[in-house]
Structure 1
Amino acid sequence: MTILKSLTNFFDRMVRRFLPDAFLFAIILTLVVLLMGILFTDSTPVQMVEYWGSGFWDLLAFAMQMSMIVVTGYVLANTPIVKKGLVRISTLANTPGQAIMLVTFIAAIASLINYGFGLVVGALLAIQVAKRVNSLDYRLLVASAYSGFLVWHGGLSGSIPLLIATPDHFLEKTMGTIPITETLFSGFNLFIVAILVITLPLLNWMMLKSRGHLEMTPAKNWETDSFEDKEIDSVENLTPSDRLENSQIISLLISLLGLAFIVYYFINNDFGLNINIVNFIMLFLGILLHRTPRRFLASVNNAVKNVGGIIVQFPFYAGIMGMMVSSGLSESMSLWFVSISTEFTYPLFTFISAGIVNFFVPSGGGQWAVQGPIMIPAGIEIGVESAKTAMAVAWGDAWTNMIQPFWALPLLAIAGLKVRDIMGFCVIILLYSFFPIAIGLLFF
């Protein structure tokens, strides 16, 4: 416990002192990759600038998806029924230790179902628990919620295992189509997921205990909106537009249309979840449960204040990805790890290389497009099953998300914190999680 206390306090101090705002972090990372491309590839400075500018807008659709995750999650959280549900779940925790473990476990289970769902649920539950439990370090609580996101690529929304299970995927001629029974439901993946889901709550609890009597950081004064005082008592002087804005029938009709599509989608897609359908569900449930367009739009207006970081920063990460891919930097990193691998160590080195590449290309699908064509043929030549190689890339992608602000932005926007507030704790989670993932890839 003494060692954990020293490490936790050390990384927390270092991160809070030296880690800049997430936007400045993206700018610094941009300049670092620009310099690396000039020094370590044949690319000229002009070419690197071209790669950066050409890729700058490649994540616009994804940025919108992440913005909608924040907005729809916030809006849904402001509905009476969801607030009651969160309150009911939060009553399971009566002490700081119980709060940390509850939030970690629920966030991990939600992330196994869908990564976007996990980010929203973790943040909202952390906020609700923080309102009930006294003497709780809110920063560690939010970091615990984010730690549950670590397991997402081993769950039902894992982009790499789902892609290679789909006929006609871009590497089918090289590796064939691999069912999820050999990836998500393989022995090594189930081992990794089970160990992390069980031990992450304990790790975060131990970090809480190791911090002793340090001054606790209170939660943001996050109060859900109340519209009761805005209700109109008299309808005599309402204009037609006022009647529409306060019409429950309008909200009900459009909500029924949305819910009808949700049912249709699940029937025709074997109940599969993706980020778009999660956003769709939360959006139309928000409209329905707010009852009137006026209440819904008032909540939206408050929600959009939290998405500024996503809107501004995601294009910079798209530019970084453009430089990494077009200059050949990501390929060079991957090939170096291939060159030092044996049949036994290849899954481990694939995982480590994917973790490094993910720091610069923080997108599961985008990273697979970069590394898949390199790692799969090399693995086949060495004698490693393609399913394990693919999952090694997937876990590398998930692993360094713990210290990459890209995915933390939606959760932090909802929770009202900055990246430096949680990243010191996330370093400990990163260091610990290396071992169960490595064991699963090497020995199962």
Structure 2
Amino acid sequence: MFMLVLGHVLALAPPVMKALGRGVNWVVKDARWVASKVALLSMGLGWLNWGLGLIGGAILVKGVMDEYRRRGGKSPVHLGVLGAAGYSGMLIWHGGLSGSAPLKVAEKGHLQELVGEASWALALPDSIGLRETVFSSWSLALTATVALLTVALFAWLGRTVKSNKAVPDAHAVNVSLDKEQASLSFADRLDRGRWLSAITGLACIAGAVWWASSGAPAQELKFITP
């Protein structure tokens, strides 16, 4: 849950939102490659952080839909294919920096704790660093292979699956923010206020820096282990 919240916060951060906006502009340049480009970006985000890939992929899809709606409401890509491409980051996330298994085995003593008093526990390594898991040649090769095959699949689907012509207007079913703001409770205003988010975010960053510098080596990424 923490990793999902972290990814959500990252995806909604202004610099990331700006980068996602540029990503949308790059995606819609050529209608033939829209789905494959969305899949590629989603997997890149998912490799960094699965929560970021999950939320960022959805934002990419919505951005592409909004852009085609702005251009006249016609989508050259089937919306189901586009949506699936947005969540393709889930295909490779566990080979990335937020994978639970590689992060846990990087913790000192974790493997011995798993087997308890077994006679062969001492034969296990104290830890297995990220260089031997996420950044190993086999792991990177496997991740790259899956990513390339996925991009190729969505390139094929984007050209062969018939498009849904009309792009639904997501804003048509929502009341305006101004009208919502008038009826917000104190808890809602607190939730949407920037100052509380800023204070909490700065506290988390300061805590992570302190924990990373005073705790386990940075290669373990223990300070963000889910």
TM-score by length of 1: 0.38
The answer for the alignment partner of 1:175 in structure 2 is 124
**Partners of 2:140 and 2:39 in 1: CA distance:** 18
Equivalence map 1:130-145=2 (5 Å) = 130-133=65-68, 134-145=75-86
Displacement of 1:159 after TM fit?
Answer: 0.8
- Give yes or no for contact 1:114–1:273 (8 Å, CA) kept in 2: no
Aligned residue for 1:207? 157
The secondary structure found in structure 1 opposite 2:23 is: helix
- Kept in 2, the 8 Å contact 1:69–1:120? The answer is no
2-side partners of 1:65 and 1:185: how far apart?
Answer: 20
1:101 is aligned to 2:36: yes
Are positions 1:221 and 2:169 aligned together? yes
In structure 2, relative to structure 1, the CA distance for the partners of 1:225 and 1:195 (3 Å cut) is farther
Q: CA-atom RMSD, angstroms?
A: 3.8
Residue matched to 1:147: 88
For the residues of structure 2 that align with 1:243 and 1:158, how far apart are their CA atoms? 37
Which runs of 5 or more residues in structure 1 are unaligned?
1-61, 233-240, 276-444
Alpha-carbon distance change, 194 to 264 in structure 1, aligned in 2, over 3 angstroms? same
The answer to whether the 8 Å contact 1:161/1:184 transfers is: yes
C-alpha spacing 1:168/1:89, structure 2 compared with 1 (3 Å): same
One-letter identity of the residue aligned with 2:101: I
Give the Cα separation in 2 of the matches to 1:225 and 1:274: 39
Q: Judge conservation of contact 2:3–2:51 (CA < 8 Å) in 1.
A: no
Check the 8 A contact 1:112/1:156 in 2, yes or no: yes
Q: Summarize deviations over 1:307-343 as a string: whole Å, max 9, x none.
A: xxxxxxxxxxxxxxxxxxxxxxxxxxxxxxxxxxxxx
CA distance in 1 between partners of 2:141 and 2:186 (Å) = 57
Q: Which residue of 2 aligns with 1:366?
A: none
The 5 Å alignment of 1:47-196 reads 86-92=20-26, 93-133=28-68, 134-169=75-110, 170-171=113-114, 173=121, 175-176=124-125, 177-196=127-146
Q: Give the Å deviation of 1:104.
A: 0.7
After TM superposition, give the deviation of residue 98 of structure 1 in Å: 2.8
> Residues 34 and 158 of structure 2 are in contact (CA less than 8 Å); yes or no, is this contact kept in structure 1?
no
Q: CA deviation at 1:228?
A: 3.9
1:91 is paired with a residue whose SS is helix
Residue aligned with 1:222, SS: coil
Amino acid at match of 2:40: F
- For 2:108 and 2:20, the matched residues in 1 are separated by 40
- Aligned residues: percent identity? 22
- Counterpart of 1:157 in 2: which secondary structure? coil
Contact 1:161 1:183 in 2 (8 A): yes
Alignment of structure 1 residues 243-392 onto 2, 5 Å? 251-267=193-209, 268-269=211-212, 270=218, 273=224
Counterpart Cα distance in 2 of 1:81 and 1:110: 14
Matched residues in 2 for 1:201 and 1:273: separation?
29
Gaps of 5+ in 2: 69-74, 116-120, 213-217
d(CA) in 2 for partners of 1:231, 1:251: 11
Kept in 2: contact 1:110–1:118 (CA 8 A): yes
Post-superposition shift, 1:188? Answer: 0.5
Q: 1:244 to 1:112 in 2, by over 3 A?
A: closer
Q: Secondary structure at the match of 2:200?
A: helix
Residue 112 of structure 1 contacts residue 154 of structure 1 at CA under 8 Å; is this kept in 2? yes
Question: Compared with structure 1, are the counterparts of its residues 83 and 166 closer, same or farther at alpha carbon in structure 2 (3 Å cutoff)?
Answer: closer
Amino acid at match of 1:139: G
Length, aligned pairs only:
197
Cα gap change, 1:254/1:107 in structure 2, threshold over 3 Å: closer, same or farther?
Answer: same
Larger helix percent: 1
Aligned-partner Cα distance in 1 for 2:154–2:62: 17
Distance 1:209 1:162, change over 3 A: same
Q: Which amino acid aligns with 2:82?
A: L
Offset at 1:252? 4.6
**1:193 Cα deviation from its structure 2 partner:** 1.5
Bigger relative CO (Cα 8 Å, ≥ 6 apart): 1
**CA distance in 1: counterparts of 2:185 and 2:133, whole angstroms:** 54
SS at match of 1:167: coil
Q: Which is higher, the Rg of structure 1 or of structure 2?
A: 1
